[in-house]
Amino acid sequence: GDSVTQMEGPVTLSEEAFLTINCTYTATGYPSLFWYVQYPGEGLQLLLKATKADDKGSNKGFEATYRKETTSFHLEKGSVQVSDSAVYFCALSDRSWGKLQFGAGTQVVVTP
Amino acid sequence: ETGVTQTPRHLVMGMTNKKSLKCEQHLGHNAMYWYKQSAKKPLELMFVYSLEERVENNSVPSRFSPECPNSSHLFLHLHTLQPEDSALYLCASSEQGSYGYTFGSGTRLTVV
């Protein structure tokens, strides 16, 4: 079945550092790919998405490119802030239905 | 406010109690979901409702009983829970066939 694998956390880095969170997927078809973010004490919020190969999703300085050849959707941000501290989830969606399959989540801690 | 409202935000219940979690959305979505989020574990999909019919039940114990009376409301009825059921319970909604979910803020459940 479909699955998502993302790097384990926590990832700890200083403010203004470069952030990369790796995400790879396994799917039988051509899924849509997502990154969700969960701030402390809250539910998940959609951060960005890409619906086909080579699409780049971007939002709030975060970017991820749908790479079909490497089945990856790595999340990047050039200069993180303390407010980016959260848990980040990579997910894929079966196009025919829309149901989401989540990765285990990666906690990111940004220190001043 | 995401458009998906969950109540209560926090709930403490004894193992012999009966309580219900409520989820409400007015986004016009036609699919709703219950997820369980436990510390250090991946998100677990519990139930899926599409067009008010339960279409998925992922081997959830019978002490959890979902109800979807209409496309805007989803309940999770709880009875005789165990301490290991303590977790954050997240509700989400989506438009079937479209991309991505909208999540509520969750109910933090503690079973004592």
A6: nearest Cα among A111, A93, A88: A88
What are the CA-CA distances from residue A112 to residues A16, A47, A85, A108 (Å)? 9, 23, 11, 13
Query: What is the largest distance, in Å, between two alpha-carbon atoms of chain A?
Result: 44
Give the residue on B whose Cα is nearest the Cα of A39.
B105
* Confidence at residue A98, expressed as pLDDT on a 0 to 100 scale: 63
Contact assignment for A98 to B95 by CB distance below 8 Å: yes
Q: pLDDT tens across B24-74, in order?
A: 999 999 899 999 999 878 888 899 888 777 777 778 999 999 999 998 999
Letter for the amino acid at A90?
A: C
DSSP 8-class letter at A67: B
Q: Quote the tokens at residue B83.
A: 């301490």
For residue B1, pLDDT beyond 70: no
Question: Which segment of A7-21, B7-21, B24-38, B95-109 scores lowest on mean pLDDT?
Answer: B95-109
Chain B residues inside the 8 Å CB shell of A34: 99-100
Confidence label for A96 from pLDDT (cuts 50, 70 and 90): low
A93 touches chain B (CB under 8 A): yes
| pLDDT, chain B, mean | 90
Q: Quote the tokens at residue A53.
A: 């190969």
For residue A81, pLDDT beyond 70: yes
Higher-confidence position of B1 and A40: A40
Rounded Cα gap, residues B67 and B62, in angstroms: 13
Chain A residues inside the 8 Å CB shell of B96: 97-98
Chain B residues inside the 8 Å CB shell of A102: 42-43
Rounded Cα gap, residues B104 and B102, in angstroms: 7
What are the CA-CA distances from residue A85 to residues A52, A60, B72 (Å)? 28, 13, 32
